[in-house]
Structure 1
Amino acid sequence: MGATAGAVWGRAEQQDFRSRVRGTLLGAAVGDALGSPVADRSMEGIREAHGAQGLTDLAFGHGRRGAVSHLTQLTLFSMDGLIRAQVRRDTGAWHPPTDLHRAYLRWAATQRDWGPDERRKEDGWLAREEWLYARREPARACLVGLGDEMMGTLDAPKNPEERGPEAAVRSAPFGLLVGWEPQLVMQLAVECAAQTHGHPTAYLSAGAYAVVVHGLARGESLDAAVQRALQLLAARPGHQPVSDALQQALGAVRQGMPTPARVEDLAGGGSAEGLLSVAVYCALVGEDTRHGLCLSVNHGGDSAAAGALTGALLGSLHGETALPPSWLAELEGRPTMLVLADDFAMEMTQGPALHGPAGSSPGWLARYPRGYAALAGATPVPAG
């Protein structure tokens, strides 16, 4: 694919891109929904609850089958923030990390408020989706990092010791910026990860993951996408643990049949680079999408993050039709995700027709306003 900004997209290219965007978002969500009910359970505990094969189907979590966690919520706001950034580009005041930070603050409001405030038109449509106002065990790093208006940066990151996978999970949409050069995709993901996860292994894992998704969305093989990520990582201080984790994933492919023990070994202590390694490995060795997803969640670690990371890779690689339809049918929030994914694809392929010099769509600008909400005096999100 490799279209550049301002390029003319053919119909077949647009359809392929839309399928990969849908696949990335829905894949991340269905992996999250699959893994959430067994997150941090031991493999022995998973087998006791779900049989000798472990978890092979959606299970009850948060009161229903197919429920998603805060990982999916944040990923939706990543995609929303990227659309808003593109819309704001026309104004000349263009700084995508700020647009993403504002999007994440809108997510933080869903963890604090009872429901959407219809008076805040500048929040856009996603923040008015009532089902998102559910607190799904959000990571403390996300609540603390977004607990005030101060934006973390690489020079002054939030939570500088935080090595968790949450920032990497929400970075999948950055990889869908197929008109961007891979090094710019990595830079944006790294800068946005530092808003909540300030340890180099966490934000570099986010950057590497975005680059892998970027390669897949442009039609590359998974191996080629990982090699490009390794190439770009090599220039970054503190990259070695992340590079080693990716190399371990590639090496594990040649070590025989996949097992939960091998997945758990790659996951290590559940840090961002360990779960990135799990996702790459499971996407490479899975016989099909369903098998890859099940493999990614059957271990004694953060199954929700592992499932989400793996699902986005498989969805961007194969498109939405490769995802298990019976799981998609029960997926919480699927209608919202489809609208958001299609809006993202339309913005990236036809943005000038929606808000360019030749004219603009008032309806589009109402959905994705150019302005920022005034957040002064907002109550910090409690992290406890």
Structure 2
Amino acid sequence: MTNTAWGRAEQQDFRSRVRGSLLGGAIGDALGAGIEFDSLESIREKYGPQGVTDYVPAYGRRGAVTDDTQMTLFTVDGLIRAQVRRDVGAWHPPSDVHAAHRRWYATQHDWGPDERKADTGWLAAQEWLYAQRAPGNACLSGLADETAGTLAAPKNPDSKGCGAVMRSAPFGLLVGWEPHLVFQLAAECGAQTHGHPTGYLSAAAFAVIVHGLVRGESLPAAAHRALTLLAAQPGHEETAHALQRALAQVRTGAPSAERVAELGEGWVAEEALAMGLYCALVAEDVTHGLLLAVNHGGDSDSTGSICGNLLGALHGETVLPPAWLAELEGRGTILELADDFALEMTHGAALHTAEHMAPGWQARYPRD
């Protein structure tokens, strides 16, 4: 889709889905943050038979997000930077996403934005992002130097943790791209930290599912498209099997924490994807789906984040529970970034050309 193809209603729908996916993912992340390392038994003992039904304190506050949301936001930043650099012939999105994730890596080591370089743009200036929220070892080691992992020479080739999946929803927001290109880009960027095929192919499958939702497909249809694209990839079996199990689990009876647990714990990529997908598939509404996604004895914030990314992309921002939005850490930044992404995708040609770039956009997303 080109910029001239966007009508007013299309722009509004797209922006709502972008906001919905990013905010929904952050809400799911925050719901799971306080129980990430707890067993289901201990969750029920502490919060009652339904488990958590609201935010619980994590990192000193309610509504705190983790590295899942942090890295997702920097993925968006990298994709915007790729678009603005395209005018001058510097078109290699994996490099721009890697550079953005390196900016995230700096937030895990620097004292604050005062230490950032002048060309890092506005997102890296947000002081609240300079907090360590249990980042995964593969993400940290994969981004520790300037060399970017590739599919041919991936970083951490034995790692299939969920750290590449949980940050990959933004690739699916590239609504003007064809699905196979979204899949390829997400896989390439996943291999920058998680080099096991299941690690990066799960990220690619997740991106394609989000992409289908933003384009108006149903969730089952989007999942089947991901399965079709997976089938041609070496090492796809674990990811494909996990997706198939999630789709089949819908037909086994009423949703429950026990049925979620049958899909895994979520620490590895394919399990996190399957659990988040299942909860989105059976969700009666966003609240039901997200609470189902976090109340288990595994990686609650990542499965909640994945489920929220999906439900937000499917329904748009207006379905998100207002009380959870009100307490969400970084809501203003997330909204601002979502709107910038939508603006870039729908009006990029008005913001920058090879010869000129709007000063405000240059300051936010430096081209050089």
Q: Given the alignment of the two structures, is residue 249 of structure 1 paired with residue 246 of structure 2, yes or no?
A: yes
How far 1:269 sits from its partner (Å)? 6.2
**1:343 — aligned with what?**
340
For residues 31-46 of structure 1, the aligned pairs below 5 Å read 31-46=28-43
**2:301 — aligned with what?**
304
Q: Find the partner of 1:237 among 231, 234, 237.
A: 234
For residues 132-281 of structure 1, the aligned pairs below 5 Å read 132-268=129-265, 270-281=267-278
Give, in whole Å, the separation in 2 of the partners of 1:169 and 1:204.
12
Give, in whole Å, the separation in 1 of the partners of 2:44 and 2:81.
44
Give the letter for the 1:301 counterpart. G
For residues 20-99 of structure 1, the aligned pairs below 5 Å read 20-99=17-96
SS in 2 for 1:15: helix
Deviates more, 1:331-340 or 1:351-360: 351-360
**1:360 — aligned with what?**
357
What RMSD over aligned residues (CA atoms) do the two structures have, in Å? 1.1
> What residue ranges of structure 1 are gaps of 5+ in the alignment?
372-384
What TM-score results when the alignment is normalised by the length of structure 2? 0.98
Work out the number of aligned pairs and report it: 368
What TM-score results when the alignment is normalised by the length of structure 1? 0.94
Native 8 Å contact 2:266 2:273 kept in 1: no
Is the alpha carbon distance of 1:325 and 1:119 closer, same or farther for their aligned partners in structure 2, counting shifts above 3 Å? Answer: closer
Deviations 1:326-361 (A, max 9, x none): 001000000000000000000000000000268531
SS in 2 for 1:91: coil
How far 1:49 sits from its partner (Å)? 1.2
Native 8 Å contact 1:161 1:199 kept in 2: yes
Is the alpha carbon distance of 1:38 and 1:87 closer, same or farther for their aligned partners in structure 2, counting shifts above 3 Å? Answer: same
Native 8 Å contact 1:174 1:185 kept in 2: yes
Give the letter for the 2:363 counterpart. A
How far 1:117 sits from its partner (Å)? 3.1
Give, in whole Å, the separation in 1 of the partners of 2:272 and 2:101.
22
Give, in whole Å, the separation in 1 of the partners of 2:49 and 2:218.
33
For residues 324-343 of structure 1, the aligned pairs below 5 Å read 324-343=321-340
Native 8 Å contact 2:113 2:126 kept in 1: yes
How far 1:320 sits from its partner (Å)? 0.6
**1:323 — aligned with what?**
320
Is the alpha carbon distance of 1:152 and 1:8 closer, same or farther for their aligned partners in structure 2, counting shifts above 3 Å? Answer: same
Deviations 1:267-316 (A, max 9, x none): 25631101111111100101100000000011111001000000000000
Native 8 Å contact 2:40 2:295 kept in 1: yes
Deviates more, 1:270-279 or 1:357-366: 357-366
**1:381 — aligned with what?**
none
> What residue ranges of structure 2 are gaps of 5+ in the alignment?
none
